[in-house]
Chains A and B, each alone.
Chain A
Amino acid sequence: MKPKVAFFDFTSCEGCQLNKLNLENDLLDILKHVEIVEFREAMDDKADAYDIAFIEGSISSPSCVERIHDIRRRSKILVALGSCAVNGGVNAMKNLQPIDEVRETVYGEDKYLFATLPAMSVSSIVKVDYEVRGCPMTQQDFLKLLVSLVLGKQAPRYDSPVCVECKLSENECLYNRGMVCLGPITRGGCDAICPSFGQFCTGCRGLLDEPNYIGMLEVMTNHGISLDEAKKRMLLFNSNEVQL
């Protein structure tokens, strides 16, 4: 029997889910392997239990916490999709300010009506089996994971920085073009898509294990941006990860 697959969204832009719908060419091949039973962006079927649950978005309210626990209980395999789900993503920037100020800014005097929590990764609440990184997650990466799951193989893990794929594509280094790029400490697997099109890396796939923060800040400031700006760049997608 084909594995039952479901998609759920939490605090996010739902861009990752849209990205999947754009998989036109491969969609039929995917449906050979799995049966999609829940996908709010595309259908309204519901099921009780799932073989694979894909989670998009970060966990940022008490009701989110309750819901993710419920999904976990009903799922054999749980996958975090995209940077919000993997490490909190851009949402986690709110964690850098006192939560009360954040509520006031967003909801004004109605702030007491809306319970909120710091934006957290899915894995900080429940066990996550696999992750697909990036903002948005790339279709290729999603397909690789899906194929791995079908083959019963451990999903590919990217422990090498973006610079590796960038160098292998023989791109001109953006540092040599006077730009500041997070490629050296950002987890690769994206085929260095941004630098390949002349756009510096913003760190959307998360940082490597134990990056050299101080060395990286020095690199960035030596290439013309202020320490404050350098820190902000690092925090953009990785507020929950960066220890400065």
Chain B
Amino acid sequence: MKRLQEVKSNEALDLYYPTMCEIVDAKQLTDLEKWYELKLPGGQDLGHEPGQFVEVSAFGIGEAPISISSSPSKEGSFELCIRQVGTLTKVLKRYEKGDTLGIRGPFGKGYPIEKMYGKDILIVAGGIGLVPLRSLINFVLDNRQEFGRLIILYGAKNPSELLFTDELDVWQRRDDVELHVTVDQGDPSWEGNTGVITTLIPELDLNLNKTIAAITGPPIMYKFVVMSLKSKQLPDSHIYLSLERRMKCGVGKCGHCQINGVYCCQEGPVFNYVDIKPLEEAL
């Protein structure tokens, strides 16, 4: 048990004060999602890992945990992509280039890059799950020779909800990226796959010992994706998932993100499947 006497005065931190960051660029990607590029004072790097998150705050509205969408290899600024669903995020729609936002973080544990070097990376992204995974994808692309295959499965409800379509085009054209996109429901102009994301998994030809899967999507998706990957015989320990919880403080205090006894903001949001399998509240 931690005792008061063990804490030195300089170890006690102001945990809840944001750093004000300037929005250097912003773009509405879909009806619901908006992309922002932010700069820390002095242009210093955020110093994050792919999969980590920040607490974004707009005074008068509040704070919300948001995944970092840019790769750590991008210097001088970082990117967020925010779906407008909550009190804060709906207001953020009005924030434009030149406005300032408060940022705390980065927080939590991201993808275990060290364990991923030399491996085939299988990305499974559902909906806005692509936002944090884009950080990982771009990191892999920026260090392409350090990794094996890069397979990206991306599913959205319909074509109009597809994010980062410019980048999807680039990934599609690259020889060293295997991109498979599907939508639950197509529209007349849609020529790609239709069906939920799990329909893309059976056809995959995976080198099981070498593949590491990174999954992010809506809560409902995880069970089914994990089931499909297990039926491909992918070992549990090769599966990483990023879980969404109400990570209100980001520093393991406020309690809202607990998954049974685990603080999602401290031990997650990216978990190895082996570690969350015993947690009844996880999936």
Interface residues of A (CB under 8 A from B): 151-154
Chain A's closest residue to B91 (CB) is A153
> Do B94 and A153 touch (CB < 8 A)?
no
Per-residue contact bits, chain B 53-64, to A (CB 8 Å; 1 contact, 0 not): 000000011000
Give Cα A151 to B62, complex, Å. Answer: 12
> Do A152 and B94 touch (CB < 8 A)?
yes
Asked if B28 is at the interface (CB within 8 A of a chain A CB), the reply is no
Give Cα A154 to B90, complex, Å. Answer: 8
Q: Which 5 A-B pairs have the closest CB atoms?
A: A154-B87, A153-B61, A153-B91, A151-B60, A152-B91
Chain B's closest residue to A155 (CB) is B87
Taking CB atoms and an 8 Å cut-off, the chain B residues in 31-47 that contact chain A are none
B interface bracket (residues with beta carbon within 8 Å of A): under 10
A-B contacts, 7 listed (Cβ < 8 Å): A151-B60, A151-B61, A151-B91, A152-B91, A153-B60, A153-B61, A154-B90
Extra contacts besides A152-B94, A153-B91 (11): CB < 8 Å:
A151-B60, A151-B61, A151-B91, A152-B91, A153-B60, A153-B61, A153-B87, A153-B90, A154-B87, A154-B90, A154-B91
Question: What B residues does A152 contact at CB under 8 A?
Answer: 91, 94
A151 CB to nearest chain B CB (Å): 6
Give Cα A152 to B88, complex, Å. Answer: 10
A221 CB to nearest chain B CB (Å): 34
Chain A's closest residue to B60 (CB) is A151
Give Cα A154 to B85, complex, Å. Answer: 11
Give Cα A152 to B94, complex, Å. Answer: 9
Give Cα A153 to B87, complex, Å. Answer: 7
Give Cα A153 to B89, complex, Å. Answer: 10
Question: What A residues does B60 contact at CB under 8 A?
Answer: 151, 153
A154 CB to nearest chain B CB (Å): 4
A148 CB to nearest chain B CB (Å): 9
Give Cα A10 to B121, complex, Å. Answer: 63
Give Cα A151 to B90, complex, Å. Answer: 12
Chain A's closest residue to B87 (CB) is A154
Question: What B residues does A153 contact at CB under 8 A?
Answer: 60-61, 87, 90-91
Give Cα A152 to B90, complex, Å. Answer: 9
Give Cα A151 to B60, complex, Å. Answer: 8
Chain A's closest residue to B93 (CB) is A152
A145 CB to nearest chain B CB (Å): 13
Give Cα A152 to B93, complex, Å. Answer: 11
A189 CB to nearest chain B CB (Å): 15
Question: What A residues does B94 contact at CB under 8 A?
Answer: 152
Give Cα A50 to B87, complex, Å. Answer: 24
Residue in B87, B90, B94 whose Cβ sees the most chain A Cβ within 10 Å = B87
Give Cα A169 to B61, complex, Å. Answer: 24
Chain B's closest residue to A150 (CB) is B60
Chain B's closest residue to A151 (CB) is B60
Per-residue contact bits, chain B 87-130, to A (CB 8 Å; 1 contact, 0 not): 10011001000000000000000000000000000000000000
Give Cα A191 to B91, complex, Å. Answer: 27
Give Cα A151 to B61, complex, Å. Answer: 9
B246 CB to nearest chain A CB (Å): 13
Give Cα A36 to B23, complex, Å. Answer: 36
Give Cα A72 to B91, complex, Å. Answer: 25
Per-residue contact bits, chain B 76-94, to A (CB 8 Å; 1 contact, 0 not): 0000000000010011001
B84 CB to nearest chain A CB (Å): 11
Give Cα A153 to B60, complex, Å. Answer: 9
Chain A's closest residue to B62 (CB) is A153
Give Cα A154 to B89, complex, Å. Answer: 10
Question: What A residues does B91 contact at CB under 8 A?
Answer: 151-154
Give Cα A152 to B87, complex, Å. Answer: 10
Chain A's closest residue to B88 (CB) is A153
Question: What B residues does A151 contact at CB under 8 A?
Answer: 60-61, 91
Question: What A residues does B90 contact at CB under 8 A?
Answer: 153-154
